[in-house]
Structure 1
Amino acid sequence: MHKRNKSEDKNKLDTSLQRLTAKSNLCFFCCILGGFSMGGGMAMHLAYRFHQDLAGVFALSSFLNKDSAVYQALKRNESVLPELFQCHGTADELVLYSWGEETNKMLKSLGVSTSLHTFPNLNHELSRTEIEKLKNWIVKKLPVEAAKTNE
């Protein structure tokens, strides 16, 4: 049975994210962070709790728990937030489409600029169309860097 209300192991997550952040020398406003499934959830945590200076976030077949610490952090936020690009298949049996949709609505209500791209009959997997949409979004978000790699 799916358990969307299972509480996040917040302390373990916070420690891991802070350790990763401390080790990096990245220019965050030049970066897009994202992932698939749990990787997308981790990306949303890192972006909306610790690095709101990112250029963007993507989450593919991902969700946040209903009581996520991300929502609590955003309720206290007053800065500009990175845009979220989200994709989800309607046939996903591992991370239900409704979970991704609820996550999107909640983030939007808390000030995140979001886009949710729905893929009918797609299970917990990636499609070529989804990857193309993501690529196009990344190129729009980081046009200078993308132009350098396409030369």
Structure 2
Amino acid sequence: MIARSLLLWLHGLGDSGPPNEVRIKTSFTSPEFVNTKWSFPSAPSQSVTCENGAVIPSWFDVHKLPVTAFSPRDEKGVLKAVQSVHKIIDEEITAGTNPDNIFVCGFSQGGALTLASVLLYPRTIGGGAVFSGFVPFDSDTNIIEQIPPDAKKTPILWIHGMADEEVLFEAGQEGPPFLERAGVSWEFKAYPGLDHSVSTDGLSYLETWIKARLRSS
């Protein structure tokens, strides 16, 4: 029997959830996803520093673009946004979905929020997938010490385009050593020529990656 699952997608800066729905859902054609619940929440609108203070949909503040390995991070805003993601996960578990069948995925700013949300969740879930994201914590933070033991069992997939000019590839490359230090299982896939976008190949790989981790009921 195909078990119920949740795929939660977190959009990038200035975007919203619903415009991503058709493309993401239609990319998953395997029968294993017939009982999948899809969630495409939208970030609240707030003033964003890199957009000269303009009020746009944003999970947290972004100080400057492009995002580099050395860009300042809005940790306080990230931690606030994490609470919203955790609430969605909690509600799904309460509704009867096995945590092993819950997957959080996100693009760009949503990818950074995905990473934070998965690593700070108190339970093991199916996995987290980061597309063109970045580590949303400053290098001198003690965030690794705050990662719950069960969260370290949640695998992370990281996909990044080598031609990304919004979140530079060097920012993506920070992911594996950070996850290594945290004791988290990870897989990093670099796509030559890919700019700041979610490719069809990337979504196809994501489907395969999730499918391999789904638990039957």
> For this structure pair, what is the TM-score category when the shorter chain's length is used for normalisation?
0.7 to 0.9
CA contact (8 A) 2:81 2:113 kept: no
Deviates more, 1:77-86 or 1:37-46: 77-86
Using the size of structure 1 for normalisation, the TM-score is 0.81
Using the size of structure 2 for normalisation, the TM-score is 0.58
- Are residues 1:25 and 2:25 paired? no
Write the distance in 2 (CA, Å) between the matches of 1:66 and 1:78: 16
Using the aligned pairs only, state the percent identity.
23
- Are residues 1:7 and 2:88 paired? no
Write the distance in 2 (CA, Å) between the matches of 1:138 and 1:78: 22
1:85 corresponding residue in structure 2: 157
How many residues are aligned here?
143
Per-residue CA deviations over 1:98-145 (Å, capped at 9, x if unaligned) read 111112221122201110011001000122211111110010011538
| Partner SS for 1:91 | coil
Write the distance in 2 (CA, Å) between the matches of 1:9 and 1:109: 19
Per-residue CA deviations over 1:69-111 (Å, capped at 9, x if unaligned) read 9x63323446142100010010000011111111222112220
Structure with greater helix percent: 1
User: Which of the numbers 177, 198, 205 marks the counterpart of 1:105?
Assistant: 177
| Partner SS for 1:106 | helix
CA contact (8 A) 2:78 2:136 kept: no
Root-mean-square deviation (Å)? 2.4
Write the distance in 2 (CA, Å) between the matches of 1:21 and 1:106: 22
Write the distance in 2 (CA, Å) between the matches of 1:49 and 1:72: 13
1:43 corresponding residue in structure 2: 114
Write the distance in 1 (CA, Å) between the matches of 2:136 and 2:83: 20
Write the distance in 1 (CA, Å) between the matches of 2:84 and 2:67: 28
Q: 1:29 to 1:68 in 2, by over 3 A?
A: farther
CA contact (8 A) 2:122 2:148 kept: no
The higher radius of gyration belongs to: 2
CA contact (8 A) 1:8 1:68 kept: no
| Partner SS for 1:50 | coil
Paired residue type of 2:115: M
Q: Which ranges in structure 2 are unaligned for 5 or more consecutive residues?
A: 1-64, 94-98
Write the distance in 1 (CA, Å) between the matches of 2:130 and 2:146: 22
Q: Which ranges in structure 1 are unaligned for 5 or more consecutive residues?
A: 146-151
Q: 1:52 to 1:101 in 2, by over 3 A?
A: farther
2:132 corresponding residue in structure 1: 61
CA contact (8 A) 1:48 1:73 kept: no
